Amino acid sequence: MKLLFNNSIQIEVESFEELFHLNNLNDLFLIDCTNSLIEELPKDIKNLINLRILICNNNKLKKLPKDFINLKNLEILFLDFNLFDTIPIEIFELENLKKLSISSNKIYEIDKHIMYLQNLKFLNLSYNFIHQLNGCIGNLVNLEILCLNNNNLNNLPKKISDLINLKILDVSQNKMKILPDKMKKLINLELLNADNNQLISISKDIGKINKLKKLYISFNKIKQLPKSLNNLNNIMYICCFGNDINNLDDLNIKNKVFTNPKDLAVISSINFTEVILKEYI
């Protein structure tokens, strides 16, 4: 288990029991207990009131202690590769939380109380079993990155268009046939990944997302791309492999539309979420 203190001192301990025997826990800034086979976090974690980063990836956690809400200064919480079947309600009390990652768990739905995480900028819910996204997600107006890839989503709520500060939206590997109306309201969106869904068309409103740089719509059922794509002055490329696009000649930007997987060498970051996120984190 790795620890980092405010004075930049780094140490390692074998367990939380050893941790709580240390002095100056008020200066503890970060805990990384990845790959520690932890089934429960200790109740005494409530005393680490100045903790700002907690990384508990790849453990066996199913719940959090009730007093977890005492960690009011927590800004970054990673709980990937655990056994949660819902987002623990204690997390919704962490009003200063900026980054939450709880991917690769067993989550089926999102509680409406997620709307209380008003300072959240990064939310990763990928590789779960989410079939429906609560419209309250639209209240997270400071959100910049939203990862929902590899779930069971049939659609997105209309309220997602309220996320006006969103820069990255990844909804790849789901079951969606359409994207929500009013996507044009996502005025700061730079990257949209909707690969591997069941999309049959793309709304012409996408041509009004002026900051859009990268659009991934490969392996869907799209036959025509909207001419409004010509209005995307900042677009770097549009990847639409595995579709049957028949109107490329109608697009002035057809040189930026890639329909052949052989073009992967040109677009080194395609379909690699880790690479995509590094552009912003």
User: 260 pLDDT band (50/70/90 cuts)?
Assistant: confident
Domain ranges in the chain?
1-76, 108-278
pLDDT of residue 276: 45
Q: Do 1-76 and 108-278 show the same overall fold?
A: yes
What digits encode the pLDDT tens for the residues 203-216? 999 999 999 999 99
pLDDT above 50 for 281: no
Burial class (CB in 10 A: 0-12, 13-18, 19+), 174: buried
**What integer pLDDT is reported at residue 272 of this predicted model?**
47
Task: Specify the pTM.
Answer: 0.93
- The structural architecture, per CATH, of the domain 1-76 is Alpha-Beta Horseshoe (3.80)
Q: Say what the pLDDT of residue 274 is.
A: 47
Can you give the pLDDT at residue 262?
A: 73
Confidence category of residue 266, pLDDT binned at 50, 70, 90: low
C-alpha–C-alpha distance, residues 58 and 33, integer Å: 9
102-156 pLDDT, tens digit per residue, is 999 999 999 999 999 999 999 999 999 999 999 999 999 999 999 999 999 999 9
Residue 27 vs residues 24, 65, 112, 145: alpha-carbon distances, Å: 6, 22, 34, 30
> Could you tell me the two tokens for 72?
């009011």
Q: Which residue has the tokens 């002035």?
A: 252
CB atoms within 10 A of CB 68: 21
As to burial, measured by CB atoms within 10 angstroms (0-12 exposed, 13-18 middle, 19+ buried), residue 210 is middle
CA distances to 27, 34, 84, 212 from 60, rounded to whole Å, are 27, 11, 9, 39
- The more confident residue out of 184 and 191 is 191
Share the mean pLDDT of the chain. Answer: 92
Q: Output the pLDDT for position 53.
A: 97
The answer to whether the CB of 217 falls within 8 A of the CB of 238 is yes
Q: Which CATH class is domain 108-278?
A: alpha beta
Query: Is pLDDT above 50 for 280?
Result: no
Q: Six-digit token pair at 241?
A: 């492999």
Confidence band for 221, pLDDT divided at 50, 70 and 90: very high
- Give the whole-angstrom CA distance, residue 237 versus residue 214: 5
